[in-house]
Amino acid sequence: GGEDGVGAEGRVVTAIGRDRRERTRMAAFPIQGVEHKPHLKRASSRYSIQEVLAGGAASLVSWRLETGRTHQIRVHAKFLNAPLLGDVTYGGRTELAGLGTMQRPALHAATLGFDHPKTGKRLKFERDAPEDFLAALRDLRRHRQPTST
């Protein structure tokens, strides 16, 4: 795949804190000096493009969190100028094919793993994507051309 195509991957490292204009939303901030700013937390995520959809208007992306901040994937996707489909809070589009049945951000935690805080035991949970997510994905796979804006 090309730089922006299947197989493209990267790492996002920012500070995350409350958006100064919209307090119900989080925002990315420069990482420099985060240790001296108690209102900000360091956040890092890795991403990998799994599939390009709808003629390049959308992509199926795998995210792996290195930290666990509020709205971290949503904030980092917006930071990359690639907000989640259906995520109107963070600038995502809702008008692409397939989203008529999905009234939420196109985000699914397929795998969740962490070390138990008391026992230290590694815990791992897996879930299949819900039907609304799968239906939107099927529609985006069928839709070949980008939707005009």
**Residues 97, 149: Cα–Cα separation, whole Å:** 13
**Residues 105, 30: Cα–Cα separation, whole Å:** 25
Question: Could you tell me the CA-to-CA distances from 115 to 42, 62, 126 in Å, in that order?
Answer: 19, 21, 15
Handedness of CA 82, 84, 87, 92 (dihedral sign): positive
| Average pLDDT, rounded, for the chain | 90
- pLDDT value of position 116: 97
Q: What is the mean pLDDT of residues 120-135?
A: 95
Task: For residue range 28-59, list pLDDT tens digits in order.
Answer: 999 999 999 999 999 999 999 999 998 888 89
Task: For residue range 9-30, list pLDDT tens digits in order.
Answer: 999 999 999 999 999 999 999 9
